[in-house]
Structure 1
């Protein structure tokens, strides 16, 4: 077993973990934006009626 292969595998694992973390962060950000948009949409008709 060459050492370079193991090292490459390790870096790939780190990259995979980082991409997963980034995906989770993006999902959270998207959920937050959705919530904000829903609140805005729910609040605007009330303002328009008044």
Structure 2
């Protein structure tokens, strides 16, 4: 499976709402030297329905 970066994306915005998983993902991004390509936010996407 190819990642979105391998498909040509210049930057990826990732959302991770759980603090433990966020720290794990943060470390993973840093160790793989992807800091300049991935913006990780400790947040969740919420869909509001009327």
Structures share fold, TM-score greater than 0.5? no
Q: Whose helix fraction is larger, Structure 1's or Structure 2's?
A: 1
Larger radius of gyration: 1
- The two structures have a TM-score, normalised by structure 2, of 0.31
Greater relative contact order structure (CA < 8 Å, 6+ sep)? 2
